[in-house]
Chain A
Amino acid sequence: MVVSMGIEQSSSPDESDESLLQGCLQGQHRCFRQLYRRHERKVRSTLYQLCGGDSLDDLVQEVFLRAWKGLAKFRQASRFSTWLYRIAINVAFDRRRSLAVGRWCSTSASPEQLIAVAEAAPASAPHEGLMDIHYRDLVQRGLAQLSADRRAAIVLHDLEELPQKEVAEILGVPVGTVKSRLFHARAAMRQFLESQGVEL
């Protein structure tokens, strides 16, 4: 258990998000640290699927900074994780605007990155072969060709396993729109993978 300020009490790992939020509003950093450690991995993964590896740490930091600053405005009508995902999506969209690219942030791995992953693979995942690395790159490239809206829908629903209702809440659209975006995103992904010789 990490106690950041010395005078702050330690928090229980199973403390609910709501009670940690109350602690945050009283200025207790250890509560926010707990929330950070609880949700950082999901936020990081989502941002990576949406924006790739460039400046990923900065983006994650930006999400949690915005969350900290906006905690007082969080009305708890939705879950904290939903709210945090929403911030992450906004950060990703802002990132896209700042890059001013026609498509979404590029996530396609460079050859150097692929080599680095392949070299690191035996240590991190001994069962992982070159085909796995190849498929992973294909998924990255397939996601990169999607529009921002469709990509966000498929990442949140199919990869992060959030229910459609929550995805709709995060994206601020009706559930029907999420279903439509998922349909088109999957169709595009399937077509791309098949064009690359992948048989599903």
Chain B
Amino acid sequence: MTRSESERDDRLLVTFLKQHQPVPPPPAVDLEARLFAQIAGDRPCRKQRTLPYFGMALVVALLGVSGMWVLGRQPRAALSAAERQDIETALMQSWTIAIDRDIDATVNPIASADIVSTNNGSEASVWDTTAFYADPASPPTTDP
């Protein structure tokens, strides 16, 4: 079916529908009077007050801001003086050990490396892998 045929069919149908469309029965004679009796002394509802909406929006905004403030706060643990002292001592100790090792490494790098002894009595650095190939069955021992 072409477009023009379809349009012609639609026109025919619409004409038929309009020609034979159901006609509503006439209204009751007192319908208008009943309607206006219902709205007598009444005015159209005023626009709803904006104050409740404004108040709700304000509450939501305040909740949002306070939520962001709570989430944005950094956690700060309250430490006692004794705990602070312990932490400081621990930190000082770890720093001291680290500094001592650094000094040893600077003065004698070989001495600071781990020394292992082989079973034939000679000493070798852990990096000297050829020492182990002499007797692979004997595990290396660490000098005390």
Name A residues whose Cβ lies closer than 8 Å to a Cβ of B: 4, 24-25, 27, 29, 32-33, 36-37, 40, 44-45, 47-49, 53, 56-57, 60-61, 64-65, 68-73, 107, 109, 132, 135-136, 138-140, 143, 154, 158-159, 186, 189-190, 193, 198, 200
Query: In the docked arrangement, what's the CA distance between A136 and B17, Å?
Result: 8
Judge whether A198 and B16 touch: CB under 8 Å.
yes
CB of B12 within 8 Å of the partner chain: yes
Evaluate contact between B27 and A60: CB separation under 8 angstroms. Answer: yes
Give Cα A163 to B60, complex, Å: 43
| Interface pair B21/A190, CB less than 8 Å apart | no
List the one stretch of B43-51, B91-99, B103-111 in contact with chain A: B43-51
Tell me if B18 counts as interface (CB < 8 A to partner A).
Answer: yes
Known: A65-B39, A158-B17, A159-B17. A72 touches B45 (CB 8 A): yes
Known: A49-B21, A136-B22. A40 touches B44 (CB 8 A): no
In the complex, residue of chain A having the shortest beta-carbon distance to the beta carbon of B31 = A57
**Across the interface, which residues of A come within 8 angstroms of B47, CB to CB?**
72-73
Chain A: which residue is nearest B20 at the CB level? A135
Residues in B whose Cβ lies below 8 Å from that of A107: 22
Q: Which of B17, B23, B31, B32 contacts A189 (CB 8 A)?
A: B17
Chain A residue, CB-CB nearest to B21 = A159
Contact B34 A53 (CB under 8 A): no
10 A-B pairs with the lowest CB-CB distances in the bound complex, closest first:
A48-B24, A71-B44, A135-B20, A27-B43, A200-B12, A158-B14, A136-B20, A140-B22, A139-B20, A72-B47
Q: Is B35 an interface residue (CB 8 A)?
A: yes
What chain A residues lie within 8 Å of B27 (beta carbons)? 40, 44, 56-57, 60
**Inter-chain pairs besides A139-B17, A154-B17, 19 sampled, C-beta below 8 Å:** A25-B44, A29-B40, A32-B36, A40-B27, A47-B24, A48-B22, A49-B22, A57-B27, A60-B27, A61-B38, A65-B39, A69-B45, A70-B45, A73-B45, A132-B20, A186-B13, A190-B9, A193-B13, A200-B13
B28 at the interface (CB under 8 A from A): yes
User: How far is it, in angstroms, between the C-alpha of A29 and the C-alpha of B36 when the chains are bound?
Assistant: 8
Please indicate the chain A residues that have their CB under 8 angstroms from the CB of B12 in the complex: 200
